[in-house]
Structure 1
Amino acid sequence: MDALTAVESLAFSPDGRTLAVGWRAGLVGLWDVTRPAAARPVGEPLNLKCPGVFSRRIAFSPAEPTLAAACGDDTGTIGLWDLTDPARPDRGRTVEAGSDVYALAFSPDGRSLAAGARDSAVHLWEGADTDRPTRLGKPLKGPTQPFMSVAFSPDGSTLAAGSADHSIRLWNVTHPKTITLLGRPLTGPGSAVTDVVFSPDSRTLAAGNTDGNVDLWSLPPTRIPGAGGNVASVAFSPDGRTLAAANQNATVSLWNTADPNNPVPRGEPLAGRKEPVNAVAFSPDGRTLAAGDGGGKVTLWNTADPGRPVRLSEPLTGADGLILAVAFSPDGDTLAAAGGGLGGRIALWDVSDPAHPVPASGVSGSGGKSVLSLAFSPDGSVLAAGGDGSNGTVGLWSTEQPGARIGKKIDQPTATSTWVAFSPDGRSLATGNSRGVVTLWDSTDPHHLKKRRGKPLIVPGGSLWSVEFSPDGKTLAAGGHTDNGTIHLWNVTDPDRPTPIGQPLTVETGFVAVLAFSPDSRTLAATTDDGVATLWDLDVESSINRICAASSGALGEEEWERYVVQPPYDPPCEKS
């Protein structure tokens, strides 16, 4: 066979009726494979008109009759064709990556095209399904070696690129104009990554390596990419159908979580201010969303229709510093906000009419430089505040006599920050500090918090950044970090005898910053410092059913004996 006729790449059209064959000579042949046993060529081969004769990769759009084919030249020439009628292909415009292209991939909607190149970058174009494709931002830079493979996840939220340096990088492409890196690069035992592909549910990534092996990566159960920068805070609406995420690019993202395993964006992120958003909270009736920012202001949004939020009034002021925590009282009439205000000031507003909020008497100084956490007791009579290392205490404040302290300060170790949470029945207060110690207090009488419930709960070798009770009161979650983000769960049905629940959950995308349970207690959301929020399904039966459905009951007796050994074979998935 002549070297110029060697096949370099193959691709099926989305409907499976056409096979494209890329030859080294810079030609792409189209074959009608409607009847595979009688496949026939369709028209003349497409001529890439490459500057040289070496062609590289081809790719079909999964949504449109568009074919992309790359040359092997130094300018990275990529030709686009409209194959609505494969017998009469219509050549569109040509784009250039500026460097030799090694890989091509279309987004699931066919609107974006990604090209992995020798210049250690992924180049993107939007409008790839039109005759006017345009560059989409700056190239995504990665390692010092070329990107050999690229792939979009089927849900369209993630772009993966495998490199010759053995690593895989992931980007959040939910909002193509604000693409952000997702966590740290994935690195395995393999060699240069030559190909990457996602599973249909977007939860597993396979990577082929030059050493002949394939690495499988289990991605976090459900990831919600932020709109830009770190995701600083998350909050579920009271009906559990919406999740709000505070982004460091000064926006708030809303996600439809009616199906927590498949969250869907609710429109574009809310943009109200220019400062990073650090905290979000829904009112108890779910009709108002509060977002506190780095400029010391709180923006209120009407979320009665979460698909069409409307900003209410002018941003609230009075916290005297960046906002790190916001909380609504259980009756929804009071909003508290605090952060880096002078002396740890806590600002309060009467929001019984959210369209016309009125400042109320707050706490002029909680004793430290900043307040990191706020929590109302279930009856709304007490506001707990956890502070930074300059404070070293947890304070309880009366909402019936604004500014009045309740009981004594709860001392914490020197130079530690503290986070707080009340149990749903109000009988326990959890305090978690940055040394990794969680203490449960009997808060039946908040004026006399002397009795500790059980022994302190310890997170080995790590610190805590968040504590949260599940709405059913059965579970306490604590999030923090060691080498990776970790989430520890305890059964606190009997708060005097808490017991660990399984192994800690780990989050590969970064350190855990904030936790939030869904109203039914079945889903746990965790934010990280790498621009991702992860949703964990805590319903055991639901998890088993999902795993069995995804694996088609693949753990047979042979695999059981190889990987499980003991106990005797007990198929985890019922055969249908």
Structure 2
Amino acid sequence: MQELELLSTIGFGGSVRDGLHVHPERQHLVYPLGCTVVVEKIGGKRSQQFLQGHTDKVSCVTVSPSGRYIASGQITHQGYAADIIIWDFKTLALKHRLTLHKVKVADLSFSPTEKFLVSLGGEDDGTLALWDVESGQALAGAPTADTSGGHAATLSFTNRDDFTFVSGGKYTIRVWDINPRTHALTPTNCVLRSLRRLVTCMAISADDELAYCGTSTGDVVIISIPHKVLKGTGPAKNPFPRGVSCIATTPTGELLVGAGNGTIARCSSKSLKPLQQNTLVGAVTSIALTPGGSDMYVGTDDCDIYRCGDVSTYEERAICHPHGVCDVEFPRGTSDLFATCSHHSVRVWHTPTGKQLLAINVPGVKCNAMTFTPDGKLIVTGWEDGVIRGFLPQSGKEKFNIQHAHNNGVTAIAVTNDSGRIVSGGGDGLVRVWRLGKQSQTLLESMKEHKGAVTDIRVRSNDEECVSSSADGSCIIWDLNRFVRNQIMFASSVFSQVRYRPDEAQLLTCGSDRKVHYWEAFDGSLIRELEVSSTGALYALDISPDGRYFAAGGQDKLLKLITFDEGETAYVGQGHSGDITRVAICPNQQYIISVTNTGSIFRWAYPAA
């Protein structure tokens, strides 16, 4: 069994606070995506490298002051240990795997000389740990909560002193001193008087005099680090809506504040009054300044990355799906483009570069399924509001919509090979055939056999038959001339996808029983069952154009390329943090595209023959 080569990703872990970083050498961005850490080249031709070693979603990322190391932490299941990995940036190799915290690693910070790494566990863990970076040994640990406050949510080393760091959390801000000889940790609670705040993020001034602590109530708390007392709060009148979600200091001493409503502001470090501000889409979760502060990159929880010269102007660097992707399709005969659909949007991407070419937005509605017409003139989509919408692929303009196509949403869609008919499936179990005219769309027939939602539809090359899979555990082959059932197949499974083999003699299905079923297309008899996953349901299935392999994935987050005849797993792709919802092999067998319920898109190299 060999590893599939991951070529590129489209996505950004925007929910990870302070997850986006500019490497000190100014040539690369570092950010999380699922259980992978991505190192992306900033200038020139887009290239990505991947740090893969985590077993679950990456929860925090930091880069050492010189850029020599990257550290990343993860979340895991209740009761299990969550790993921290220190990576060597030059070789992109795993230097140390550190295991101590339970369930989640909430934050990480390197000391100024990179001698120490301090890590913070989540609420279920409630401890912080001090690590020796060179040896990977744990030197000390301590609980983060005290008698007056709750668990810490964030921490940061000072900029000049290896033996001092600051933590903040629920009603508490503490300055920690490290004993140079024994490495014992001594916390001192800062005097906050009657102030009670939930600290969400933190930045330290360049001279190590002040800690700026962003709070969930939208103000910034200033702490004197040497004296461990409250210096002030602000802005005085208008706190940032939905809380301060990230904060950074500029080389000129000003503050950059990101808020939960998408506001990014440049503030005075003394009065905390906004001097300049702008609003992005989604809560601002990361602000990454280039060394010298000439540029900054801003990440949002809508999974978008923006490049800003200053606060008032910005350009989109990376636009991604903020929600799970429901479907992915290539147009007939080309591998240069593919399209995906998700909540509120259908997007068309350039395959080699991952650049978004077109975004079609329908606010407030989820797109469940989509396909290209074989002549390439339309993108036909099925939506949760029961409407079938057709769009022009060049402009994204809506060409037609069929209202009330299905009662419980349109869940599957296909177009005949002459581009003359649409076959749709719904949450109501109906399979309907529509005449696709130039000016009108008319219902030809409605076929009711399925008791559950229709999950997938595929049309035979001669346009005389189609096959539909359903959540009720049945697959039905329909006659598209007489509009009756030709064959029906049953299994103890919630079917998610069905595919014809290229010669159309056999069918493949996958579903909740973790198996891929081989069926005879002529009489619907079961040929064989193949257990593909040992841990979870299968949601994604596609067969290569030459019929040699099929790709499958699902809850186990592994993309598997399996030989069709032998049923042996030949290649495995790792790196997804969410369930694989769909997979597509491109027509020229150059790429495999997999999409997940976390919104990320992965492009893999199809193995050479």
Query: 1:515 & 1:316 partners in 2: Cα distance?
Result: 29
Q: Say whether residues 1:317 and 2:397 are aligned partners.
A: no
8 A contact 2:515–2:531 mirrored in 1: yes
Question: Once the 2 structures are TM-superposed, how far is the Cα of residue 331 of structure 1 from its aligned partner?
Answer: 2.2
Q: Say whether residues 1:281 and 2:336 are aligned partners.
A: no
Query: 1:506 & 1:275 partners in 2: Cα distance?
Result: 31
Q: Say whether residues 1:506 and 2:574 are aligned partners.
A: yes
1:334 aligned partner, one-letter code: R
Q: Say whether residues 1:490 and 2:490 are aligned partners.
A: no
Equivalent of 2:326, from 221, 229, 232? 232
Question: Once the 2 structures are TM-superposed, how far is the Cα of residue 138 of structure 1 from its aligned partner?
Answer: 6.3
1:96–1:312 distance in 2 versus 1, CA, 3 Å: same
Q: Where is the strand percentage greater, Structure 1 or Structure 2?
A: 2
Query: 2:482 & 2:547 partners in 1: Cα distance?
Result: 28
How does 1:114-513 map onto structure 2 within 5 Å?
125=264, 132-136=276-280, 139-140=283-284, 150=288, 172-174=303-305, 225-226=320-321, 228-238=322-332, 239-248=334-343, 250-257=344-351, 259=352, 262-267=353-358, 269-272=359-362, 274-303=364-393, 306=394, 308-341=395-428, 344-353=429-438, 355-363=439-447, 365-388=448-471, 391-402=472-483, 404-407=484-487, 409-413=488-492, 416-443=494-521, 445=522, 448-450=523-525, 452=527, 456-482=530-556, 485-492=557-564, 495=565, 497-502=566-571, 504-513=572-581
How does 1:37-52 map onto structure 2 within 5 Å?
none
Query: 1:500 & 1:13 partners in 2: Cα distance?
Result: 41
8 A contact 1:115–1:123 mirrored in 2: no
Counterpart of 1:63?
Answer: none
RMSD: 4.4
1:12–1:527 distance in 2 versus 1, CA, 3 Å: closer
Question: Once the 2 structures are TM-superposed, how far is the Cα of residue 320 of structure 1 from its aligned partner?
Answer: 2.5
Question: Once the 2 structures are TM-superposed, how far is the Cα of residue 126 of structure 1 from its aligned partner?
Answer: 8.1
What is the CA deviation profile of residues 507-528 of structure 1, one whole-angstrom value per residue up to 9, with x for unaligned ones? 4330011122222122122221
What is the CA deviation profile of residues 371-416 of structure 1, one whole-angstrom value per residue up to 9, with x for unaligned ones? 111111222222111111xx222111111212x1113x21101x63
What is the CA deviation profile of residues 120-157 of structure 1, one whole-angstrom value per residue up to 9, with x for unaligned ones? x89752899xx95324356446xxxxx8x8479xxx99
SS of the aligned residue for 1:225 comes to: coil
What is the CA deviation profile of residues 431-475 of structure 1, one whole-angstrom value per residue up to 9, with x for unaligned ones? 1121111111232x2xx13261x5534322221112211223222
Query: 2:513 & 2:381 partners in 1: Cα distance?
Result: 28
1:524 aligned partner, one-letter code: I
TM-score w.r.t. the length of structure 1 is: 0.56
1:382–1:416 distance in 2 versus 1, CA, 3 Å: same
Q: Which runs of 5+ in 1 are unaligned?
A: 1-9, 15-22, 25-53, 59-69, 79-94, 107-112, 142-146, 162-169, 177-201, 203-222, 542-576
Question: Once the 2 structures are TM-superposed, how far is the Cα of residue 297 of structure 1 from its aligned partner?
Answer: 0.8
8 A contact 2:413–2:457 mirrored in 1: yes
8 A contact 1:279–1:292 mirrored in 2: yes
Query: 2:476 & 2:582 partners in 1: Cα distance?
Result: 20
Query: 1:360 & 1:322 partners in 2: Cα distance?
Result: 19
TM-score w.r.t. the length of structure 2 is: 0.53
Query: 1:281 & 1:490 partners in 2: Cα distance?
Result: 25
Counterpart of 2:590?
Answer: 522
1:232 aligned partner, one-letter code: C
Question: Once the 2 structures are TM-superposed, how far is the Cα of residue 429 of structure 1 from its aligned partner?
Answer: 0.5
SS of the aligned residue for 1:530 comes to: coil
8 A contact 2:426–2:454 mirrored in 1: yes
Query: 1:240 & 1:379 partners in 2: Cα distance?
Result: 23
Q: Which runs of 5+ in 2 are unaligned?
A: 1-22, 28-158, 161-202, 214-218, 223-237, 268-274, 308-316
1:139–1:296 distance in 2 versus 1, CA, 3 Å: closer
SS of the aligned residue for 1:296 comes to: coil
What is the CA deviation profile of residues 211-233 of structure 1, one whole-angstrom value per residue up to 9, with x for unaligned ones? xxxxxxxxxxxx9831x322111
| Percent identity over paired residues | 15
Query: 2:266 & 2:464 partners in 1: Cα distance?
Result: 56
Query: 1:420 & 1:266 partners in 2: Cα distance?
Result: 29
What is the CA deviation profile of residues 23-75 of structure 1, one whole-angstrom value per residue up to 9, with x for unaligned ones? 99xxxxxxxxxxxxxxxxxxxxxxxxxxxxx97369xxxxxxxxxxx985566
Question: Once the 2 structures are TM-superposed, how far is the Cα of residue 11 of structure 1 from its aligned partner?
Answer: 7.9
Deviates more, 1:454-463 or 1:277-286: 454-463
Query: 1:514 & 1:114 partners in 2: Cα distance?
Result: 43
What is the CA deviation profile of residues 297-348 of structure 1, one whole-angstrom value per residue up to 9, with x for unaligned ones? 1100122xx3x2221123343323211111112222211111212xx10121
1:325 aligned partner, one-letter code: A
Query: 1:157 & 1:425 partners in 2: Cα distance?
Result: 53
1:100–1:242 distance in 2 versus 1, CA, 3 Å: closer
1:289–1:105 distance in 2 versus 1, CA, 3 Å: farther
1:313–1:416 distance in 2 versus 1, CA, 3 Å: closer
What is the CA deviation profile of residues 172-207 of structure 1, one whole-angstrom value per residue up to 9, with x for unaligned ones? 11589xxxxxxxxxxxxxxxxxxxxxxxxx9xxxxx
1:264 aligned partner, one-letter code: K
8 A contact 1:284–1:331 mirrored in 2: yes
Counterpart of 1:43?
Answer: none
1:101–1:160 distance in 2 versus 1, CA, 3 Å: closer
